[in-house]
Homo-oligomer: A and B are copies of this chain.
Amino acid sequence: MNQEELEKCIDAAQNSQQYAHCPYSHFRIGAALLTSCGKIFTGVNVENSSYGLTICAERTAYTKAVSEGYKSFKGIVVASDLKDRFITPCGACRQFGVEFGDFEVVCVKPDRSTFKSSTHKLLPGLFSQEDLIAKAEQDERECKAQN
């Protein structure tokens, strides 16, 4: 993301926070996902009375983009109301992000100060689709060896 894109994404992420559905945590998170072609998809956390079904802002943004046909991303910005610390994506959102490759992840405070990382940096030694493919290939080799 260049500076102009980053600023736009911060605006979008912070603006979307108002739509968070967070009656349980009261924690308003907004996200803005920038596609490789320059389109922005926002997301908010959508909580559920059965806590385990809660979906974070980042995953909302990812599914939104995918459902419109976009799977290639430049970066994602995550905005919270916390003034004294950066809120980073939870492990679930980190895993959800790497499904679409390595791209920037920027956490932003209300004063627009940022912490910059990337999907791959946030999930060192990550588990991915390559593991499933490696497993399938190993199974095939062993199957052939037996026959």
Chain A residues with a Cβ under 8 A of chain B: 16, 18-19, 21, 23-27, 42-44, 46-57, 59-64, 66-69, 71, 80-96, 98-99, 115, 117, 121-129, 131-132, 134-135, 138-139
Contact = CB atoms under 8 A, between A and B. Distances in A.
Given A16-B67, A90-B127, A95-B53, A46 B24 contact: no
Nearest to A48: B99
A43 B98 CA distance: 20
Contacts of A138: 81-84
Given A82-B134, A125-B115, A52 B51 contact: yes
B53 A129 contact: no
Given A52-B90, A86-B125, A88-B125, 12 more contacts: A25-B51, A27-B132, A42-B67, A46-B96, A48-B96, A52-B56, A53-B95, A84-B134, A88-B127, A91-B93, A91-B126, A94-B94
